[in-house]
Amino acid sequence: VDKNRNSDIYLFKQNNEKMKVALILATNVEKSPYMQYYIDVYKEKNIDVEVILLNRDKRVSNEEFPYKIHSCDIIARETASCVRKIYDYFRYSRFVRRILKQSDYSQIVVFTIANAVFLSYYLLSYYKKKYIFDIRDYSPLVKYTVPIIRRLLNNSALNCFSSPGFRSWLPACDYVICHNARRKSLDEDIVNARDIDVENVKVLTIGQLRNFITNKMLMDHLGNKSRITIQFSGMGIAYDLLKKYEVKKMYNNVKFTGYYPKKEEFSIVDGCDFMNIILPDDTLSRYLISNRFYLSLLRRKPMIVSSGGIQAEYVKEYDLGIIVSSEDDIYSKIMIYARSFDPIQF
């Protein structure tokens, strides 16, 4: 933490006054696992939490979660044009400002750059030094809004990001890393690694299926291999394309299980041997640490990652799995690693 700031003064009131905090998400709860980290901390301090979210697919109801939810139901498709996305964020920011005006929040946590930029005037005018700016991924807005982002960073109570790789494109400032895993997970959710049956190796892709090219590449390398099963669990903009491609190529070892409740995530991961985290080679993917990375660590599963990214650096340093590129024989790499895998050492 920035040594020039007294975090107790900025983050928690020192008297008996009851605090109420708003967490402002750019999507729904199920796609924001990092939110739970904050809720755990605030609950420990007996601080009330309310969540303001953009309910893109209308899967959220107030009965599902033990805190108050303010839901803005805008169908914001990932494939929408830039103009449409800007318009939707503008509409959502108006909704958020209306909620903020109606409630007396002691502190705000605003997630993602787009959220913060669209709310920047309100944050800087009414919540200076009373908001936490949490950066979850790269945004194209960075190219056009560096002065605004710098002001937001300099006037926050605390700045967080989920990957130290973000320093390469963020303005210089003090940051604290906030991982995509709950603190309680480090005590409760870690399991022991298990042996890999080299005659029946399951490779899992779990979560949002956003990229067709990288997942198509995985199918092309592993499709119809007798010792490999490929499983896709989750939905996303690439889901239908991947299913059509699997039918077209007549791959007999590819399985799609579709949407799953968050509570089933660990059991799905426990049934696999390798976690697929092959991502595109772009600014968005190169510097992030994905949710799958944390799932792999917590459930002790070796991972398959793309070369050139920050995740590949960690995999190489700690021998956490396999680093691949499109030119590699991914099947051979998996089988060589599986044969030599030592669960105790891992």
The predicted structure's pLDDT at residue 6: 45
Q: Which residues contact 173 (CB under 8 A, 6 or more apart)?
A: 150, 153, 154, 159
- Band of the pLDDT at 62, cuts 50, 70, 90? very low
Task: Give me the amino acid identity at 286.
Answer: R
Closest CA to 12 of 52, 48, 60: 48
* pTM tops 0.75: yes
Q: Which two tokens stand for residue 105?
A: 């929040």
Burial of 276 per CB tally in 10 Å (0-12, 13-18, 19+): buried
Angle, vertex CA 34, rays to CA 296 and CA 129, nearest 5: 145
Q: What is the pLDDT of residues 170-220, one digit of tens each?
A: 999 999 998 887 766 666 788 999 999 999 999 999 999 999 999 999 999
Q: What is the signed CA dihedral for 40, 159, 134, 183, rounded to 10 degrees?
A: -30
Of 22-36, 55-69, 285-299, the poorest mean pLDDT is in: 55-69
> What is the per-residue burial (b if ≥16 Cβ within 10 Å, else e) of 294-325?
bbbbbbbbbbbbbbebbbbebbeeeebbbbbe
- Band of the pLDDT at 93, cuts 50, 70, 90? very high
Looking only at Cα atoms, what is the longest distance across the chain? Answer: 66
Q: What is the pLDDT of residues 312-335, one digit of tens each?
A: 999 999 999 999 998 999 999 999
The predicted structure's pLDDT at residue 240: 96
- Band of the pLDDT at 5, cuts 50, 70, 90? very low
In the block, residue with structure tokens 């991924």: 137
